Amino acid sequence: MTIRIRCHDGGIAVLTVDHPPVNALPARGWLDLASAIRRAGADEATRVLVLRAEGRGFNAGVDIKELAADPGHQKLLEVNRGCYEAFRSVYDCPVPVIAAVHGFCLGGGIGLVGNADVLLASEDATFGLPEVDRGALGAATHLLRLVPQHCARAMFYTGRTATARDLERFGSVWEVVAPERLGTAAMELAAEIAAKDPLVVRKAKESLNGIDPVDVHRSYRFEQGFTFELNLSGAAARARGRFGREQG
């Protein structure tokens, strides 16, 4: 797995994730991503952080094959901690985080973009939580920050996805652009924010988090408890087995 942070003029940091073939991250990868985001945010020179990915899609969530290969629950514990830390690092980043999404954004990807400050998407972007089909629960907290409640429930139960245009209509995507313009659009928006007084923007981020009606950390942690319950019951292993056969 490769995580690159490139610092541009004006205090714009661009963090790029590249983990072929589909950016489905292993347990260690989620923790490494959290650490990288925290490092970028802790740098006083950083005014805005752009989160993006290489490859076929932005993020395909957790590496299910890694979980299936573990006869116990150690990897589950590690990946749950990793996701929690990665999502938290985005939300708690002291500067605004712009998520630039292309292709698929699934599972854990929803946790990242749902906690971002601003979301840009290419016309080919789709968003969804296939967790029920994988025998897991989680990131409904973050999906509910992107789509209306009843839409989120239907998506969660069915595993269906929403398009970038859907999210633009709901008001959660700032702009939908052609795929070849995504990087440029993200940098333009980042430059507009970075031009503001950095202390004021950092305090603005802190104040917005302080008035958030939902404690995203506590809410997501509550969801994770049901994932542990499903694993102990054996239901999660059965679902992962079906997924593996379908993929194999």
Q: Which residues pair with 161 in a beta bridge?
A: 128
Q: What is the pLDDT of residue 68?
A: 82
Q: Residue 57 has what DSSP assignment?
A: -
Higher model confidence: residue 60 or residue 248? 60
CA angle at residue 190 from 185 to 191, to 5 degrees? 100
Q: With beta carbons less than 8 A apart as the criterion, state whether 93 and 28 touch.
A: no
**pLDDT tens figures, 73-124:** 899 999 999 999 999 999 999 999 999 999 999 999 999 999 999 999 999 9
DSSP 3-state assignment of 213? coil
**pLDDT tens figures, 172-184:** 999 999 999 999 9
Higher model confidence: residue 77 or residue 241? 77
Q: Indicate the fold that domain 2-180+208-247 takes in CATH.
A: 2-enoyl-CoA Hydratase; Chain A, domain 1 (3.90.226)
Q: CA 45, 175, 88, 53: dihedral to nearest 10 degrees?
A: -80
**pLDDT tens figures, 29-52:** 999 999 999 999 999 999 999 999
- Position 216 pLDDT exceeds 70: yes
